[in-house]
Each structure stands twice: as structure tokens, then as C-alpha cells.
Amino acid sequence: MSALEEVDVEQQLQNQDDSDSPVIKINTEVIDEKKEPKFKVGELVIDAQNFKVVDAANKEVQPIYVVKAITEDGKYLIEQHNVEEGQEISPPYEIEEDDLTPVNPPSPDFAHESKFELSSEQQQLVDKGIEEEANEQLNVITDEDDDDDDDDEEGDDELKKLENNMQKDYLLSYHPELKQINFNELLSLSKITRNKNGIIVDPLHKTFPYLTKFERAKILGQRAKQINNGSPIFVKVTPNIIEGHTIALMELNQKKIPFIIKRPLPNGSSEYWKVSDLNMLD
């Protein structure tokens, strides 16, 4: 049995540290993953840096760009898309991602990443356009309502005229004696034609040329009322005669009463006689 040897543990550990034994190192640095581009090639975007709000206020056409390529350093190569006919096309240029905005508003899934908003000037223009369009529509509706009201009023007036004409025709068909004539017609119809012997030969005056008691009573009553109300007197009277009925009787006897009486006939027509042309019975 061999003798036990004394071992120096500390010395052995030190010798082990100085040896060329492999050492494993752990890299704690985080490797950056490649950032996903915000826009894809061929997507339409807006250059928010170069297109100013003043241009939008002047109602200029806002340029829209298309992404042509994405560089290694993360920049975008864009070219104008909405080029009018005859307009010179600007060469493509590079721009940072933060200076671009999408043409259409983002979907709700990406609302936290990007937000589509209008500037205050652009919003004012949009609101003004909506207000003007609403006013135009309101004016059109108002004009149509006015036209409808005018048409309704015209229709009502025509309907009233038609109703009045129907009522008038209906009334005159049963009461033709109510038909009124003008003053010139009255004078023409009241003229009497006589022959050389003084006999009336007028076809418009066929009734007896005598004043009836009913016509006489009505004429005296109407004329007395006029005289009492201050009407001029057509005969000479003495100062002691002041009663209107007496003066009216004097005018009737002297054929001075300027009245024309109307005699309705059974056939619906009427005769017009001057009181002075009628004879009076005793």
C-alpha cells in the first residue's frame, strides 16, 4: 500500500486556470431584426413634406406618388403618378418613410401605427364645399316647392272660376231675370221705335205701354226716398211743398222721373221701358 501524498489543491486550481482549456462565451447582445417596410412597391403615397397646405388652400391638384423601389438604407424611391396630359414628369427621388402618408385611410387593424388626418385648412375647405352643396340642394328644393305652390294656387284659382261659372250658369238657367247688363246696353234696349201714327212697332217692346199700379207705387216710393235724402228736384215746386212723396208725384205726372223699369217676360228675356214712355191710367 503506497503512502499517501500531500496534495496542494490551491496550486492545482491555479495551474488549471493558466492552461489552454477552451472557454465558452455567451453573447448577450440583442441582434436587430430587419425592419418591415411600411409601404410596398407599387403602393400609392403622398409626399407630406413637399406638398404644403398652402397648395391645398389654392385648390391645386395634390400630387400622388407611386413607390418604385426601396433602398437598402430604408428610403423610398417615388415617382409622381397623377400626371396630366402634356405635363412634364419629374424624375423619381428618394424620401424618408416618415415623410410619406398613405393615399387611403389606414384599416382599423393598423390604426395604432398610422392615422389619416386632414389639416385644419383642408378640413375647412371640405366643410365649406359640403355647406355650399347643401345650400344649392336647399335652393333647388325651395324653388321646386315654390313652383309646386304656384301650381297649386293656379289650380285652386281655376277650380274656383269653374265653380263660380257653374253656379252662375246654373242660377241663370232658372232665373234669367237676374242677368245684369251694362249701361250702354240699357240705353239701347230702352229706346222705342214708333211709326208715323205714333204706334210702337218695336220688337223689343211688346207689352202694354201703360204704367201698372204696382210699378207706380214702387217708382213713387223710390223717388220720394231720393228726394228726402237731398236728390235734385226736376220740377218747379212752391216753398210750401216739402214732402218727398208729393214732389215725386208731381214729377211722375209731368214725366220728369229719369227711371227705367225692367219687365221680366215668361220666355226669360226682359223689356226695358223709360217711365216717360209709359202712359198712366186714371
Reported as a single tens digit per residue, the pLDDT across 131-150 is: 777 777 777 666 666 666 66
Query: Amino acid identity, residue 75?
Result: K
Closest by Cα among 273, 256, 264 to 200: 273
Residues 42-59 pLDDT 10s:
788 887 777 654 444 454
The number of angstroms, rounded, from the C-alpha of 180 to the middle of its chain's C-alpha atoms is 45
pTM of the model as a whole: 0.41
Residue 208, all three cell numbers: 202694354
**What's the pLDDT at 15?**
65
**What's the pLDDT at 143?**
64
**What's the pLDDT at 112?**
45
Tell me how far apart the alpha carbons of residues 189 and 205 are, in angstroms, rounded to a whole number: 9
**What's the pLDDT at 21?**
54
The number of angstroms, rounded, from the C-alpha of 166 to the middle of its chain's C-alpha atoms is 35
Which residues of the chain have a pLDDT value below 50? 1-2, 30, 53-57, 59, 106-115
The number of angstroms, rounded, from the C-alpha of 4 to the middle of its chain's C-alpha atoms is 122
Residues 6+ apart with CB under 8 A from 211: 219, 275, 278, 279, 280, 281
**What's the pLDDT at 114?**
44
Nearest-Å Rg of the Cα atoms of the chain is 59
Tell me how far apart the alpha carbons of residues 218 and 227 are, in angstroms, rounded to a whole number: 14
Tell me how far apart the alpha carbons of residues 201 and 242 are, in angstroms, rounded to a whole number: 41
DSSP 57-110: HTTPPPP-EEEEEE-TTS-EEEEE--PPTTPPPPPPEEE-GGGEEESSPPPGGG
**What's the pLDDT at 8?**
65
Tell me how far apart the alpha carbons of residues 269 and 265 are, in angstroms, rounded to a whole number: 5
**What's the pLDDT at 180?**
84
Task: For residue 198, give the DSSP letter.
Answer: S
Residues 6+ apart with CB under 8 A from 81: 44, 64, 65, 66
**What's the pLDDT at 255?**
92
Tell me how far apart the alpha carbons of residues 15 and 19 are, in angstroms, rounded to a whole number: 6
Contact at 8 Å (CB) between 89 and 80? yes
**What's the pLDDT at 164?**
72
**What's the pLDDT at 181?**
87
